Amino acid sequence: MSTLLKINQIQHCYGNHKTFDDLSFDLQKGEIGCLLGPSGCGKTTVLRCIAGFESLTAGQISLNGVAVSDSHFSLPPEQRRIGMVFQDYALFPHLTVAENIGFGLHRSPTQERKQRVIDMLKTIGLIEAADRYPHELSGGQQQRVALARALAPRPDLLLLDEPFSNLDITLRERLSQEVREILKNQQITAILVTHDQGEAFSVADMIGVMHQGKIMQWDTAYNLYHRPANRFVANFIGQGVFLPGKVLDLGMIEMELGVLSKDIYHHCESDQEICPIGSEVEILIRPDDIVYCPESSTQALITHKAFRGAEILYTLKLASGMTVLSLIPSHHDHAIGEKLGIRLEADHVVIFSKALLTYHSNSQFSAWSE
């Protein structure tokens, strides 16, 4: 695999406002990357810089080893061979589906163009809609046409700006799977921008979590969830709570739910293997780390429950007053106010140094994907 896209310490400003600063990541050929973050974090602007619609104030973007953007120079968008799918699809309303898809092939000979359009229509399964106009299509169909139009000229890189946000939830899941299949089959390198982590997980190979114009972690979905690099990522990805703990002898950590041995945790924010004895830490506990155990000595009070089908997500209050979340098979149906025996069962947890700001500790949070 070779590096297709290299983003090197780029910076962008709207007037005096820095949209993002010192942002870097690489993308390998054939890989699908994703910028994930709350709205307003600057992720769409990154995409527009890569496409060439915005210029940089510092840093460099190179494509196939050739610089396309830096602070003095910006290759016009039409010369970059970068395809883009816009959030609102931006289909040309005066052209049919086939004409929309063939639009970027204006330099190819007629016969070749026709064949490519037919191939693309087959790929997206809309061959029968070739002569229809965009306003006659459903949202999902429009989305697929937008994808086909961007892919038709065989771009080196495809950019997708919140491509599923205008669709309803069920369609969103199905289409994101479909899009990933199409991209993988055609070995397209792509970058997706989204605020929805479910979408990011189902489409992307590598995900960059963005916050206030910075990439907090560039990693696989597994690592973002299980090995978050910092507190923001831990908070943003998935659900969980922070419980306080104290470092004992031999790197063991004591906490309300038991004692953790050295080999099942790692410290996220420092490289130290062992924290100083007696130092206070916080342990990230995910809902699936806590299991039902009637005979356990730890009894917790149910304060909240949310039925999820196979499981019930219980919000539980521990003796100390701390709150944890637990995902328990739904045949263990208990009422709010009852006590539940629980046990910590984790292969691996992450710990953080104790937060300086008190509101961080034991703040219960729910993920954006809800």
Partner 1 sequence: MKNENYFTKGDKTVDPPQTFFHLKGAANIWRIIPFLIAALILIPIAVVFSSVFMPANDVWQHLVETTLLTLLINTFWLALGVLTGSALLGVSLAWFTAVYEFPGSRFFSWALLLPLAIPAYVTAFVVLGLFDYTGPIQTNLRTWLGTELPWFPDLYGRSGVILVMTLAFYPYVYLMARNAFLTQGKRLLEVAQSLGLNQRQGFFKVSLPMARPWIAGGLMLTLMETLADFGTVAIFNYDTFTTAIYKAWFGLFSLPAASQLASLLILIVFVVIIAEQQFRIRMRYAETKRSARVDRIALSGWRSSAVACFAASVLFLAFILPIIQLSIWAIQSLMESFDQRYFEFLFHSVLLSAAATLITCFAALLLVYAARLYSDTTTRIAVRIATIGYALPGAVLAVGIFIPVVWVDDLLNAWWLKLFQVEIGFLIQGTLGVMLIAYMTRFLAVGHYPIDSAMQRITRNIDEAAMGFGLTGWSILRRIHLPILKTGIFTAAALVFVDVMKEMPITLMTRPFGWDTLAVRIFALTSEGEWEHAALPAVTLVMAGLVPIILLMRQTDK
Q: Who's near 207: CB < 8 A, 6+ residues apart? A: 33, 34, 35, 36, 200, 201, 218, 219, 220, 221, 224
Smallest separation, CB 264 to partner 1 (Å): 48
Residues in the chain: 370
Smallest separation, CB 127 to partner 1 (Å): 21
CA-CA distance, 147 to 164, in Å (whole number)? Answer: 11
Q: In what order do the strands lie in the sheet with 189-194?
A: 82-85, 157-161, 189-194, 32-36, 206-211, 214-219
Helix pair 139-151, 169-185: axis angle to 10 deg:
20
Question: Residue 170 corresponds to which tokens in the numbers above?
Answer: 């069920």
The nearer residue to partner 1, 4 or 344, going by C-beta atoms, is 4
The nearer residue to partner 1, 155 or 287, going by C-beta atoms, is 155
- 247: β partners: 253
The nearer residue to partner 1, 87 or 299, going by C-beta atoms, is 87
The nearer residue to partner 1, 157 or 327, going by C-beta atoms, is 157
Element (H, E) at 19: strand 17-28
Token look-up 């002898």 returns 249
The nearer residue to partner 1, 88 or 269, going by C-beta atoms, is 88
- Positions in the binding site for partner 1 (CB under 8 A): 51-53, 76-79, 81-84, 86, 88, 90, 92-94, 103-104, 106-107, 133, 135, 149-150, 153, 159
Smallest separation, CB 47 to partner 1 (Å): 11
CA-CA distance, 194 to 100, in Å (whole number)? Answer: 25
CB of 123 within 8 A of CB of 199? no
Smallest separation, CB 119 to partner 1 (Å): 17
Smallest separation, CB 160 to partner 1 (Å): 12
Smallest separation, CB 113 to partner 1 (Å): 13
Question: Residue 321 corresponds to which tokens in the numbers above?
Answer: 């007053």
The nearer residue to partner 1, 72 or 106, going by C-beta atoms, is 106
